[in-house]
Amino acid sequence: MSLGKLLSSAPLHDPLADPAPGTNNEVKTTTCYMCACRCGIRVHLRDGQVRYIDGNPEHPINRGVICAKGASGIMKQHSPARLTQPLLRKQGSERGAGEFEPISWERALDILTERLAKLRATDPKKFALFTGRDQMQALTGLFARQFGTPNYAAHGGFCSVNMAAGMIYSIGGSFWEFGGPDLDRAKLFIMIGTAEDHHSNPLKIALSKFKRDGGRFISINPVRTGYSAIADEWIPVRPGSDGALFMALIHELIAADLIDREFLARYTNAPNLVVLDGGERDGLFAFDPEAGALPDGRNPHNKLVWDRKTNAAQRAQTDAARDVDPVLEGRYTLADGTPVATAFELLKDRVKECTPEWAEQITGISAQRIRKLAREIGETAMHQAFELPIAWTDVWGTQHSSVTGRPVAFHAMRGLAAHSNGFQTVRALSVLMSLIGTIDRPGGFRHKAPYPRHIVPNYRTIHSPEQVQPNTPLPAGPLGFPAHPDELAIHDDGTPIRIDKAFSWEHPLSAHGMMHNVITNAVRGDPYRIDTLLIFMANMAWNSTMNTMQVRAMMNERDEAGEYKLPFLVVCDAFQSEMVAFADLVLPDTTYLERHDALSMLDRPISEFDGPCDSVRVPVVPPTGDTRAFQEVLVDLAARLKLPAFITPEGTPKYRDYPDFIVNFEAKPGIGFLMGWRGADGSKSLKGEPNPKQWEMYAKNNCVFHHTMPESMQYMRNWNRDYLEFSLEMGFRQKSDAIQLAIYSDALQSFRLAARGKGTKRLPPAELRERIDTYFDPLPFWYAPLEDAVSDTTSFPLHAITQRPMAMYHSWDSQNAWLRQIHSHNYLFVNPGTAQAAGVADGGWMWVESQWGSVRCMARYSEAVDPGTVWTWNAIGKGKSAWQLDAAADESRKGFLLNHLISEDLPFAGRRISNSDPITGQAGWYDVRVRIRPAAPDEPAESSPQIDAVPAAPGVFGRVAEAVMFFARGKK
Amino acid sequence: MHPAFSVILFTTLAGAAQGLVVAIAVAGLAGAVLPPTFVLTSLGVAFVVLMLGLVASTFHLGRPERAWRAVLMWRTSWLSREVIVLPAFIAVVALWLLLAWTGAAQGLVPLLMIAALVLSALLWVCTAMIYACLKFIQEWAHPLTLVNYVLLGLASGLLLAAALGSLTGAGAFALAAAQWGLGFTVLGAITRIASLVRNAGIRHASTLQSATGIRGNNLRQTSMGMSAGAFNTREFFHGKPLWLVKRIKHAFLVLAFVVPVLLLALALSTGASAWLLLAFVVQYVGLIAERWFFFAQARHPQNLYYQVVS
Amino acid sequence: MSASPRVAANNAPARKKQLALVIDLNVCVGCHACVTSCKEWNTSGSAGPLVDQNAYGANPTGTFFNRVQTFEVGTFPNTQTVHFPKSCLHCEDPPCVPVCPTGASYKRPEDGIVLVDYDKCIGCKYCAWACPYGAREIDEDRKVMTKCTLCVDRIYDKNLAPEDRKPACVKACPTNARLFGDIHDPSSEAAVAIRERGGYALMPEWETQPANHYLPRKITEIIAQVERES
Ligand SMILES: Nc1nc2c(c(=O)[nH]1)N[C@H]1C(S)=C(S)[C@@H](COP(=O)(O)OP(=O)(O)OC[C@H]3O[C@@H](n4cnc5c(=O)[nH]c(N)nc54)[C@H](O)[C@@H]3O)O[C@H]1N2
Ligand SMILES: Nc1nc2c(c(=O)[nH]1)N[C@H]1C(S)=C(S)[C@@H](COP(=O)(O)OP(=O)(O)OC[C@H]3O[C@@H](n4cnc5c(=O)[nH]c(N)nc54)[C@H](O)[C@@H]3O)O[C@H]1N2
Ligand code: SF4
Ligand code: SF4
Ligand code: SF4
Ligand code: SF4
Ligand code: SF4
Ligand SMILES: [Mo]
């Protein structure tokens, strides 16, 4: 450097210079998996190393934006907790101690093959496969079905099955990945119980655009953070009480006649006549035997309405030529003397007592405010309606020249779902939305393919133990949607077939299984013992389990013979989570940047309102160490186990590997995991023969395939003939008939009838009859969460809930050097009034206690929380030294898990029953009741409970990672 | 602010050295004849102390090897000016020391004395202005900052001079220096207390409202956006409990002013040099506390943004 | 607070370019996307690498150029929660520049971006003291001062597609709460937003004239009001 330059006032450091000249820069596209939202990303590599990840502007989901997690993917790739080789628990060491010896993949696969082959040949249900926050249920489900075990489910049961099932049983689709609010055209948006959601970036994009365009945004939530922060109006509600609010809104809307009567009469079962004779078919719909003699919800098109013109019962919707004018209200008598009433009439009766004053007592929202809200919803829907000039034809052949927009959109998530009254609450919301006619209409709720599905979807799981046979695939999928007691997975004596008791009388409509009960049930041998539990991508020893400490202890429980009650535990994870320490065998997975993944239409795709959409991940960096993608392992294992779908007639592996499987597997001829670039040369879309170059074509096209349907197929899809035919053709449905909205659920009624000893030979066990009778109400209603009945709510006056922080994904981001700087530990947020009354100081140590457990944590005052509620960020607290954090890390020292306060079961009829929604088995995370008190001054300033530290597993990067962290050092 | 020990050390050491040099320069210019041992010792001590200060101040730098660059921006930066003045002052002291040692070129000595006086004054201005020019640190942005730097420097320098004088046989000078030191200590106490009083009454111009522009009552931070802290939570907070800060304030008032005054009175009445030395040492310790408090008391408006973890 | 006069009127005399961010508090949901995207870009860009200390230990801490904070106003149930992103405001009269003894802290004449020259900086931290906003962070590893560069190494990078020549945080922000532009160009999106939506500056009392502005949270309704009305 010349002296002149050295002394010159011009900058020495050229901020515009290439920071790494001479390096090889590349950009590859793939799909993010820092959360389940599945945004398109561009991965910028410098000499093959990931240096920068941004949103892919060409991607329909995120259109170029990214979130805090997505932008921190680099640090996940460099996590010190990375598992790099298969591990076997050390002989003689306890589960949970985390002592392992490394083994080869060949050995790992041999162990698995031998064990599983034996189980498959004897009693396949002794193998259980449960998967957490994954996105490959089409493959894992297929594996389980081919194996022949019913004991399969993903995380939906502890996640949001209430939201999915509550809406699918009502409108044929749901929020979550299957549908959402049309904020482009809504004028009023009401968001209920949502903190972050699976539709993370798209919702943010839509929300800000909606607000900027002048839309009005109301948030109903006990807490005001995140999205609620920017709401024009925040309505704090008591946890678990929203159902009452919805019932009161329905009451008000009907009273003010701010409902879409035409829509109700034509597109819902509101005018259908319900039998009220107290007989075998009491409460089911009156039907026309000529149109198919089925007594319940399984045949929707034989129902009767009361025709205004003929003043007689007539068959409901048929072809366009028939001129039936159904009345919505009234009680009638059929020709055979059967007393009937319209479903709508029964709904009116139901809400008669549900006044705003009634709801005020339950929700804490004043009656005036409820009235105002109802008026605003009704008036916006009815008086600000608009027509879009989009011609479409309904399923009955009537041509329409436009679609009607009813610009009130709702969105709700786990604030409704994660309560034991969530199913009926979500039903109430669905009915509310149906009343104002906002289903698949502009400005309201919109479906996403493959939804809408039939109500009830035509997916049935097994219903008899005979269907589970050695060395035989299941004749049905392990999961499904029961529409009738005959479709429950139970033995003749009414006991559950499944280890998690899903689809049993305890939780009949548990469409997503009940993962949260697997370990407890298996250890208790209730309903039976299993041999091998394979857990993929779920941290069941920590944050996705209730009653965490006991569940950890249970995994170590032994029987009289000294054998583990849960004999073999296999964990597939990419990182050293709390769960890994409990594994007998650890299968180290790749990361999302290292593997192929298909986000398939056969699973939960990323569809948009305007058409089906699927996407893939392609590896952008090579696998680390000796890791293998779980998909590869499954395809390999399936062939080793000779599962029919995975082998040739000669018994050799049918698929080379997972990419080969994805390309060549066909669920039906022409329909595979991926819709894009099908046909031998990739020229076909949606359907077509396998294309050997399909992956390359996805890779070249931003890893996403988006089929935009003509506008005429984008709305009113429950009744849109062109769309329904398309969905049949694509295999989304098995029929192309109309999907009438279920204001009144005859499917639920058929369970209630069984509880009353009617309509079926399959009757619930005596102790469950009253429970089924109560909760399987065909009309929505509000009841207090089950925990309230077994809690002394004067001793435990507060509700305790969690929220997802936007910059953290469950448990798995605390290993991320950037994200953990944002949230390295959590506080319990308490309204200052509540805290002061209890003597708890802002920032002070305190105890939160439920009747099930207690936690010591730190308090943070907040005026943005209902005084009867306390909350914290979910899953920030960690087990000591898990994730290769220091034993002194904030996460374990100061962070805490609310799960310790929650019980996985509740006392019931002299025994225990899952702490879940009695209908769907959805885990009741947000029902727990607590009290608070200050910690004593002499107590340690440390969260409680604490667990023992575990050593770094062999091959785990551990501390070394800090030395190899390529950013941190080197450039001075 | 977070009191950096290197800066505390530098400002207190340099202040004392400046005071010492000023004392002998003024005496010299006033025509007093000082014993050479005393002059030599004093200049030697001043030189060493200043060098210590210089070293201490570079500890504060992240990149001391580039410290030379700091002379470049003298047009705008008081820190740059200080970086120029300090070596110049040291150079003058060193030269003076050299001449005193060798006895050469004695004609230059008065010039060096004047130069030392001027540079010392400038150095006080620079040092004080480094703090006083930050207008939003309202505790500092006041003429009293400069006054205190000067007076406390003079007081400690005079006490040091007195102590050194009595130890090296400059008894008369030591007596005078002790008297002057007593005067400046009292004066310094008055102005320092004045600044304490003033600071206690400051209405901070920046509020959470003005910092965020968010309107409404009961505005509070619930999260500073990170949970384990950052440069912003380390550099601008003393991180000590309020009671300790208060105690340090009382300690410096006692150690820097009350005790030295008593000890000086004792020294003046008994003529024992040990008291003088003790007076200096106690005052110096007091000044370290004073400087600590000077930093700790300064409320930086950025702290408004970094209050709450959640 | 009213719009800062400096950016206001359309007929203001033509000034030199002043690039800046305008943050819309009406739509910021506090997601921290801007925080980590900033870190991610800059750590591999010309400003980096940005240090992380105790990355997996107690008190993890490190350099970030941008932070998102949360404030609450009012009392339950009339509470507003405001997410508040903050990075260097690229003051038009930046107190952090003249104090720097080395000239390492400087304001670019061509676009008003305030930068640190990492090759000159001696890490004396004086500029950080002189910033009322806490917008500068010392890099404890490299021992030089760092701060938001307004992604100067992106916005002029000819190797990037024109639509990518924006700050990383702006591109990341899912709610588009971060507008970027020349606030001296009255027709820029940023200047229009400031003018029309009451864009304000932080701590106007120090006359630093921050170039970054904030669009105030519009409070449309509070519960007390709703209940009074009905
Ligand atoms: N108190 C409370 N508890 C809750 C909730 C709540 O709201 N409150 N929410 C519940 C809900 S909705 C859910 S979905 C669950 C989520 O709980 P989990 O399903 O347990 O999800 P994570 O904690 O994210 O952990 C999943 C595991 O996946 C691992 N993993 C990450 N990436 C990969 C990969 O690429 N491959 C493999 N094989 N493994 C990987 C992680 O290391 C981690 O061990 O938590 C539930 N628990
Ligand atoms: N950043 C990030 N994103 C995620 C996840 C994550 O961990 N991090 N997890 C993903 C997963 S698995 C899921 S399931 C989704 C869940 O997405 P959300 O459903 O948005 O998740 P939760 O954080 O459980 O939010 C529940 C919200 O409901 C509120 N609430 C609780 N009880 C009630 C009630 O009774 N009534 C009302 N009205 N509100 C109530 C809570 O205050 C909270 O705001 O998020 C997904 N997205
Ligand atoms: S929302 Fe989820 S998928 Fe999208 S960028 Fe963020 S972490 Fe990745
Ligand atoms: S915000 Fe601070 S660092 Fe940025 S220009 Fe203004 S004074 Fe300087
Ligand atoms: S830290 Fe660097 S940029 Fe800041 S004042 Fe010192 S030399 Fe200048
Ligand atoms: S402009 Fe660039 S450097 Fe500044 S906050 Fe945004 S991303 Fe960070
Ligand atoms: S990315 Fe946007 S919405 Fe998210 S915190 Fe930053 S400014 Fe707010
Ligand atoms: Mo979930």
Helix (H) or strand (E) holding B82, with range, is helix B78-102
- Closest ligand to the CA of C118: 5
Strands, DSSP E only, in A454-601? 532-536, 568-573, 585-588, 597-599
Touching check for A212 and chain C: CB below 8 Å?
Answer: yes
Interface A-B: count of C-beta contacts within 8 A: 25
Maximum C-alpha span of chain C: 64
From the CA of A461, how far away is ligand 1's center (Å)? 26
User: For testing the chain B interface, which of A803, A819, A822, A896 should be mutated: the one with the most B CBs within 10 Å?
Assistant: A822
Find how far residue A89's CA is from the centre of its chain: 32
Q: Which residues contact A317 (CB under 8 A, 6 or more apart)?
A: A266, A301, A324, A396, A738, A740
C-beta of C211 in contact with ligand 4 (< 6 A): no
pLDDT in tens, A473-500: 999 999 999 999 999 999 999 999 999 9
pLDDT attached to residue C8: 40
Kindly give the distance from the C-alpha atom of residue A891 to the centroid of ligand 3, in angstroms, as a whole number: 23
Tens-place pLDDT, residues B172-206? 899 999 999 999 999 999 999 999 999 999 999 99
CATH number at residue C75: 3.30.70.20
Instruction: Enumerate neighbours of A (3 or more CB pairs within 8 A).
Output: B, C
- Look up residue A590 and give its two tokens: 């790749």
Q: Residue C7 falls within a domain, yes or no?
A: no
Q: Which residues have CB under 8 Å from A327's CB, separation 6+?
A: A265, A271, A305, A306, A307, A308, A342
How far is residue A758's CA from residue A754's CA, in Å, rounded to a whole number? 5
Q: Which atom of ligand 7 approaches the CA of C29 most closely?
A: 3
Single pTM value for the model: 0.96
Mutate to test the interface with B, among A825, A857, A878 (most CBs of B within 10 A): A825
Over range A70-76, report the average pLDDT. Answer: 97
From chain B, the residues in CB contact with A9 under 8 A are: 72
**Residue A488 identity:** L
Nearest to C56 among A371, A886, A970 (CB): A886
pLDDT above 80 for A375: yes
| Helical axes B273-297 vs B242-252, angle rounded to 10° | 150
> In A226-238, which positions are buried (b, 16+ CB within 10 angstroms) versus exposed (e)?
bbbbbbbbbbbbb
pLDDT in tens, A650-708: 999 999 999 999 999 999 999 999 999 999 999 999 999 999 999 999 999 999 999 99
Residues pairing with C52 in the sheet: C62
Residue at token pair 């002052």: B89
Amino acid letter, residue A886: D
List the structure tokens of A404.
Answer: 């009607």
- Judged on CB neighbours under 10 Å (0-12, 13-18, 19+), A214 is exposed
Q: Note the pLDDT of residue A1.
A: 63
Looking at residue A949, its amino acid is: A
The band of C10, judged by pLDDT with boundaries at 50, 70 and 90, is very low
CA A859 centroid distance within chain: 30
Please give the torsion angle defined by the CA atoms of residues B11, B14, B16 and B19, in that order, rounded to the nearest 10 degrees: -120
The average confidence (pLDDT) of chain A is 95
In a domain, C49, yes or no: yes
Residue C144 one-letter amino acid:
V
Q: Does A237 have pLDDT greater than 80?
A: yes
Q: Which chain A residue has its CA at the smallest distance from B69's CA?
A: A7
Reported as a pLDDT band with limits 50, 70 and 90, residue A294 is low
In this prediction, residue A966 carries a pLDDT of 52
CA of A159 to the centre of ligand 8 (A): 4
Number of domains in chain C: 1
Residue C11 falls inside a structural domain: no
Residue C211 lies in a domain: yes
CB spacing of B310 vs A821 below 8 angstroms:
no
B10 touches chain C (CB under 8 A): no
Q: Which of C35, C75, C82 sits opposite A863 (nearest CB)?
A: C75
* Cβ–Cβ < 8 Å for B21, B119: no
How is residue A601 written in tokens? 């239409």
Q: Are A19 and A36 in contact (CB under 8 A)?
A: no
Q: How confident is the model at residue A969 (pLDDT cuts 50, 70, 90)?
A: very low
CA distance B77 to chain A (A): 14
| pLDDT number for residue C14 | 47
**Does C4 fall in a domain?**
no
**Helix or strand or coil: residue B160?**
helix
Q: How many CA atoms lie within 13 A of A574 on its CB side?
A: 27
Put simply, the answer to whether C55 touches A67 (Cβ < 8 Å) is no
Q: Which amino acid would we find at residue A571?
A: V
Task: Give me the sign of the Cα torsion angle B203, B207, B213, B214.
Answer: negative
Q: How far is CA A892 from the centre of its chain?
A: 28
- pLDDT tens for each residue of A125-146: 999 999 988 888 999 999 999 9
Per-residue 3-state assignment (H helix, E strand, C coil) for A74-123: HHHHCCCCECCCCEEECCCCCCCCCCEEECCHHHHHHHHHHHHHHHHHHC
Examine residue C197 and state whether it is found in any structural domain, yes or no.
yes
Q: Report residue A789 as tokens.
A: 């009945």
Residue C78 lies in a domain: yes
Domain limits for position C40: 19-229
Please judge whether C79 and A863 are an interchain contact, meaning their C-beta atoms are less than 8 angstroms apart: yes
Atom of ligand 2 nearest to the CA of A37: 47
**Mean pLDDT lowest among A364-368, A466-470, A959-963:** A959-963
Contact assignment for C32 to B225 by CB distance below 8 Å: yes
Would you call A926 exposed, middle or buried from its count of C-beta atoms within 10 A (0-12, 13-18, 19+)? buried
> Distances from the Cα of A707 to the Cαs of A216, A451, A601, A611, B1, in angstroms?
31, 15, 12, 5, 60
Token pair recorded at residue A282: 């009491």
Phi and psi dihedrals of C204, rounded to 5? Answer: -60, -20
Report CA(C50)–ligand 6 centroid distance (Å): 13
- Closest ligand 5 atom to residue C103 Cα is 8
Q: Is B4 exposed, middle or buried (0-12, 13-18, 19+ CB in 10 A)?
A: middle
Calculate ∠ Cα A726-A680-A632, nearest 5°: 90
Q: B158: part of which helix (H) or strand (E)? A: helix B143-167
CA angle centred on A648, ends A643 and A651, rounded to 5°: 70
How far is residue B175's CA from residue B173's CA, in Å, rounded to a whole number?
Answer: 5
What residues of chain C, 4 to 63, have a C-beta less than 8 Å from chain A?
26-33, 35-37, 39-41, 43-52, 54-62
State the Cα–Cα distance between residues A963 and A965, nearest whole angstrom: 6
CA distance linking residue A156 with residue B65, whole number of Å: 60
- Residue C199, in any domain of the structure: yes
